[in-house]
Amino acid sequence: MDRTAQSVWKGCLAYIEDNINEQSFKTWFLPIKPVKLQEKVLSIQVPSKFFYEWLEEHYIRLLKSAITKELGADAKLVYSIVMENAYDNARPSTIKLPSSQRGKIENPKMNMPIELNSPSVRNPFVVPGLRKVHVDSQLNPNYTFDNFIEGDCNRLARSAGFAVANKPGGTSFNPLLIYGGVGLGKTHLAHGIGISVKDQYPEKTVLYVTAEKFQSQFIESIRGNTKNDFVHFYQMIDVLIVDDVHSFAGKEKTQDVFFEIFNHLHQNSKQIILTSDRTPVDLQGMEQRLLSRFKWGLSADLQFPDLETRIAIINKKLYNDGVDMPEEVIEYLAYSINSHVRDIEGALISLLAQSSLNKKKITLDLARQMINKFVKNTTREISIDYIQKVVCDYFDMPVELLKSKTRKREIVQARQLAMFFAKQLTKSSLASIGAQCGNKDHATVLHAVRTVNNLSETDKRFRTYVDDLRKKLTIH
């Protein structure tokens, strides 16, 4: 009985499906269309030269086996590649395969050769052309899970990232949107996920790209009339990481093309990881259809690190650098820098540099001097945590006791001193100071300030407490 191109290709697909994974089959073989069958020559149509080169690079043996199984040893396969010109008119071009050599495509209408290795098909990260389909992940090897310190401030995001890394595209966290302020570790965590995926699934294509880079590549593809290749390149990624996605705000065309890429990846169970400096709800200038997709998976926030996490970050950094530092200096840094992780690392690097360049031993005094200079550049204020620690160290009592409800005179005085200096040295509200000093109200803080002022004038010993503590808290 006579066979059709459709029936032969159906048989080829059945053979191919049995020999590769499901995702590769869907991505690289389902889009192929059988065109015609003439004797033992099967013509098939593929979307682009990029598609053709990928098939020849990775699946030529599989295709040979499939077509041989269906049509015999002397069977031939001919590709019909739809190429686009500047006027968006499709014109078919064909080349006979299999072949281990890159050849020329003959355009039957114009009767002129077109080199297959021309740079008209662009990988935005490998220029020119796609002779060899290899994508550099653009990942920073220093940003791993191992050196990302977990704390209450980031536990949800890190746990979700770990789950995604173990099963990319196979969890409900798709997309995974990590959001938070500057310097809190969004980029570090995103790279860590990508690196973990590469370690566990070396066959997967992972790509990290900033939203700004993505946009510039898209604009370049428009100028070069290679938008289809740009889209196709991103649609082949298994794990796509887009950093600072809030940068897409107000850029309508970029959002449109990202929407197209997003849909393709999500529908094909590819993993998408996004970072932003704000929640999806607060992303202004974004198309509603894109925002709705950002909400499909999980949005996890990163907050300012708490004291224990700050200490752990410093210890980890010192361990990685093989540096020893007195515990009191570590605690001082952790108490003094209560903002971004980046600020903590910056202060630590500054301290180590001062110690090394000036050949000085790392001491608490040196740390105070360094913090003084660092403060001028970061507009940092002293933290209530640090004030409480200094007060408690001075009176030799645990911080927990200061925050307790006990009414013992010495404890009450220490608590009042902590409130007094918190009011003087920080910009925190009275309510905030009270909340951090044992859940007291703002009236208690006002009373504490008045009490300290009165006792400083009438009690010589108490005035000594105030003067000593002011010296310890004021960085010279």
Is 472's pLDDT higher than 70? yes
Is 116's pLDDT higher than 50? no
Specify the DSSP element, H or E, that contains 72. none
Q: Please give the residue that has the higher pLDDT: either 240 or 283.
A: 240
Question: Which numeric CATH code is attached to 155-302?
Answer: 3.40.50.300
Rounded to whole angstroms, how far apart are CA atoms 66 and 60?
10
Cβ-based neighbour number of residue 33 at 10 Å: 15
Fold exhibited by the domain 5-113: GMP Synthetase; Chain A, domain 3 (3.30.300)
Residue 2: band (very low, low, confident or very high) from pLDDT cuts 50, 70, 90:
low
Specify the DSSP element, H or E, that contains 405. none
Task: Evaluate if pTM is beyond 0.75.
Answer: no
Rounded to whole angstroms, how far apart are CA atoms 14 and 66?
9
CA distances from 100 to 33, 50, 105, 128, 436 (A): 23, 16, 15, 21, 72
Contact 250/218 with Cβ under 8 angstroms?
Answer: no
pLDDT of residue 130: 36
pLDDT digits (tens, 9 = 90+) for 238-260: 999 999 888 888 888 889 899 98
Quote the percentage of the chain above a pLDDT of 90: 14
pLDDT of residue 101: 35
Instruction: Evaluate the omega torsion of the peptide bond into residue 175 and state whether it is cis, within 30 degrees of 0.
Output: yes
Residue 377: band (very low, low, confident or very high) from pLDDT cuts 50, 70, 90:
very low
What would be the CATH architecture of the domain defined by 307-378?
A: Orthogonal Bundle (1.10)
The mean per-residue pLDDT over the stretch 381-401 comes to: 84
What would be the CATH architecture of the domain defined by 384-473?
A: Orthogonal Bundle (1.10)
What string of DSSP letters covers 289-344? HHHHHHTSSEEEEE----HHHHHHHHHHHHHHHT----HHHHHHHHHH--S-HHHH
Rounded to whole angstroms, how far apart are CA atoms 447 and 115?
84
- Would you kindly state where each structural domain of the chain is located, as residue ranges? 5-113, 155-302, 307-378, 384-473
The mean per-residue pLDDT over the stretch 321-344 comes to: 75
Most confident of 95-104, 133-142, 242-251, 309-318: 242-251
pLDDT digits (tens, 9 = 90+) for 193-249: 999 998 999 888 899 999 888 988 898 888 888 888 888 888 888 999 999 888 888
Is 152's pLDDT higher than 80? no
Most confident of 77-81, 177-181, 409-413, 439-443: 409-413
